[in-house]
């Protein structure tokens, strides 16, 4: 792969992406397809493109302060990290020449505060100023975009112990580390060939790619034997499948996904997995006797900035207003399916209170038949014996606790000091209960 080819692809990608609302990942896939880029080259160029987005403010600052020795040193360090996978390093002139000039593309103010460090618009800065989260927490959540996201694999409970042991050895040899929270869960920050990984470890059958944040939901939702549970926004089914395994055939899980295409894919996956206590609904639920209902709501996705660093540049204040309206409506609708005393669980992959505790608070104000409920992780088979306490302690060690739920911030490294081993994405989970 030549330098000129890399620059050509990057130029096409950023000229199409900048100024629009299309995710960078989608633009990359389109350009790769049009230019017949091979799988190995795709991984390298994709990493390069996302790192350019991650480090854009530093690069712009350095360009505008070339006479400053510290700026030059930082620039060389960033360029070195961006190009480490190429045999020949791209020089400053090659990277930032007339063929691919970052400055007119990004136009970042180099003053050193949130606006420059993370590329936030003034409108977003004003919005965040009104947030109930401390600014230090907002900084931590946004700073996570500068680091890699983990690949986390969760072993299916259907795996025989002998098979699990063999696969565990392979994973540990491949650089994975065992979760400090959940049994049979392994994570790595190393760059991997996911296609090869999926084939070797039978992903979506023996193992599931599922972040620790996503896994937590089942451990707060699992309820008494014989309970009926509804996943009201099932999406691809990750939380439904996990919950069905965690309750070990003792509860019936119904899953509903409003999008026909996603619902079709969900049914296909469920059919392959043959999980007996999981039913994919063909039409919206009508029964009102569920013991537990999950609303894993659409959101800004700001808890996943490590995976989508371009979200910062694509987000507008009106996006939060749009999602807030959807989240509120989903909670209202989902509350209708509970029996008296039933529990409504609300989760998002965002750390912003405007999408989390604010939504639950407004729901309670408009629904006097509901009351707040304190989160309490259950001592389940698939949680490490010392982890019920760890999950509880996340409120004080890494999460921003409130009476309406738990907000977790993404961590910058695999071995996170003071986080109890937590490495998941930014996340929120809260519960309210129907009185009666």
The answer to whether residues 131 and 352 touch, using CB atoms and an 8 Å cutoff, is: yes
CA dist 110 and 22 (Å) reads 25
Do the Cβ atoms of 244 and 228 come closer than 8 Å?
Answer: no
CB-facing half-sphere around the CA of 116: CA atoms within 13 A: 11
**Cα separation of 237 and 243, whole Å?**
10
* 3-class DSSP state of 401: strand
Task: Determine the Cα–Cα distance for residues 272 and 161; give it in Å rounded to an integer.
Answer: 21
Tell me how far the alpha carbon of residue 358 is from its chain's centroid: 20
CA dihedral (25, 26, 31, 37) positive or negative: positive
349 noted as active-site residue: yes
**What's the chain's length in residues?**
436
| Under 8 Å between Cβ of 187 and 212 | yes
State the distance between the two ends of the chain, measured CA to CA, in whole angstroms: 66
Which strands make up the sheet holding 177-178, listed edge to edge?
177-178, 185-188, 151-155, 207-209
How many C-beta neighbours within 10 Å does residue 41 have? 16
Q: What is the largest CA-CA distance in the chain?
A: 70
Q: Pairing relation of β-strands 399-402 and 185-188?
A: unpaired
- Positions marked catalytic: 349
């Amino acid at each position: 792969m030549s330098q000129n080819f890399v620059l050509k692809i990057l130029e096409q990608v950023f000229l199409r992406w900048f100024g629009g609302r299309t995710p960078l990942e989608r633009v990359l896939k389109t350009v790769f397809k049009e230019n017949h880029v091979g799988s190995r080259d795709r991984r390298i160029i994709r990493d390069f493109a996302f790192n350019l987005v991650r480090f854009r403010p530093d690069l712009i600052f350095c360009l505008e302060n070339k006479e400053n020795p510290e700026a030059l040193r930082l620039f060389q360090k960033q360029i070195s990290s961006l190009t480490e996978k190429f045999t020949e390093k791209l020089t400053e002139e090659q990277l930032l020449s007339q063929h691919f000039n970052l400055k007119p593309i990004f136009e970042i103010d180099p003053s050193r505060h949130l606006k420059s460090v993370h590329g936030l618009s003034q409108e977003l800065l004003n919005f965040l100023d009104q947030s109930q989260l401390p600014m230090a927490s907002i900084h931590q959540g946004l700073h996570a975009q500068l680091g890699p996201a983990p690949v986390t694999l969760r072993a299916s409970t259907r795996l025989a112990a002998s098979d699990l042991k063999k696969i565990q050895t392979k994973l540990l040899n491949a650089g994975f580390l065992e979760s400090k929270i959940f049994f049979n869960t392994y994570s790595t920050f190393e760059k991997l060939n996911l296609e090869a990984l999926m084939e070797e470890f039978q992903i979506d059958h023996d193992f599931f790619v599922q972040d620790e944040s996503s896994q937590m939901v089942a451990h707060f939702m699992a309820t008494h034997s014989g309970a009926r549970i509804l996943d009201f926004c099932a999406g691809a089914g990750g939380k439904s499948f996990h919950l069905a395994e965690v309750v070990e055939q003792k509860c019936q899980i119904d899953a509903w996904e409003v999008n026909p295409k996603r619902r079709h894919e969900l049914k296909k996956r469920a059919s392959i997995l043959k999980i007996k206590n999981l039913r994919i609904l063909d039409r919206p639920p009508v029964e009102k006797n569920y013991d537990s209902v999950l609303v894993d709501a659409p959101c800004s996705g700001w808890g996943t900035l490590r995976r989508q660093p371009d979200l910062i540049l694509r987000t507008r204040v009106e996006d939060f207003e749009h999602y807030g309206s959807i989240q509120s409506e989903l909670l209202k609708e989902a509350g209708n399916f509970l029996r008296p005393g039933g529990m409504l669980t609300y989760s998002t992959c965002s750390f912003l209170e405007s999408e989390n505790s604010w939504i639950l608070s407004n729901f309670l104000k408009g629904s006097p038949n509901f009351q707040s409920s304190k989160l309490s992780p259950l001592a389940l088979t698939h949680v490490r014996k010392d982890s019920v306490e760890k999950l509880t302690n996340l409120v004080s060690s890494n999460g921003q606790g409130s009476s309406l739920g738990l907000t977790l911030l993404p961590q910058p490294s695999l071995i996170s000091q003071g986080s109890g081993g937590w490495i998941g994405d930014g996340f929120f989970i809260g519960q309210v209960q129907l009185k009666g």
